[in-house]
Amino acid sequence: MASSCIFCKIIKGQIPSMKIFESDKTLAFLDIGPLSKGHSLIIPKYHGAKLHDIPDDQLAEVLSVTKKIAIAQGIQDYNVLQNNGRIAHQEVDHVHFHLIPKPNESEGLGIIWQTQDADKGALSKLLEDIKSKM
Ligand code: AMP
Ligand code: ZN
């Protein structure tokens, strides 16, 4: 827990939230600035700013809770988003997964997907480099 963290304060009940689900490791609640109706946040209770800061066992439930909320909302089109770092649009430094319903073109998550030309040789070299460090 981090005393200045807004999501740790929500976990401790020091500030209110619209809770959807709670277990010993996981909390889910409605986003107060939704991109679409039903936009939810699913968080590990363990405090860490980025995905790689969170122990595996603290992350274990997050995807299944996300799936449960999607099913409960009856949504068919949606994005699951998890931002790491300011430049990657992270505002709250406690790991959180967004579940964002995509009911139509204009609501929900907007994505700019700018692909780059990929050189096959460079990709193979990169692949070997990553695999060697796994
Ligand atoms: P991100 O840009 O990935 O860090 O997203 C942070 C999200 O947290 C935003 O969508 C905010 O609307 C949401 N948020 C911030 N404070 C609260 C709060 N007190 N209760 C619910 N959602 C919040
Ligand atoms: Zn926190």
How is the chain split into domains, by residue range? Answer: 6-133
The confidence score (pLDDT) of residue 40 equals: 98
- Phi-psi category of 71—alpha, beta or left, where left has phi over 0 and alpha has psi -120 to 50? alpha
Does 6 score more than 90 pLDDT? yes
For the Cβ of 32 lying below 6 angstroms from any atom of ligand 1, the answer is yes
Between 3 and 104, residue with greater pLDDT: 104
96 classed as catalytic:
yes
Specify the pTM. 0.96
Catalytic residue among 39, 94, 96, 98: 96
Does 2 score more than 90 pLDDT? no
d(CA 34, CA 66) in angstroms, rounded, equals 16
d(CA 72, CA 61) in angstroms, rounded, equals 16
Of the candidate CATH numbers 3.30.470.10, 3.30.70.890, 3.30.465.10, 3.30.428.10, the domain formed by 6-133 belongs to: 3.30.428.10
| DSSP structure class, residue 61 | T
57 alpha carbon to ligand 1 midpoint, in Å?
Answer: 24
Tens digits of residue pLDDT in 26-47: 999 999 999 999 999 999 999 9
pLDDT band at 9 (very low <50, low <70, confident <90, very high): very high
Whose alpha carbon is nearest atom 15 of ligand 1? 32
Tens digits of residue pLDDT in 73-128: 999 999 999 999 999 999 999 999 999 999 999 999 999 999 999 999 999 999 99
For the Cβ of 89 lying below 6 angstroms from any atom of ligand 1, the answer is yes
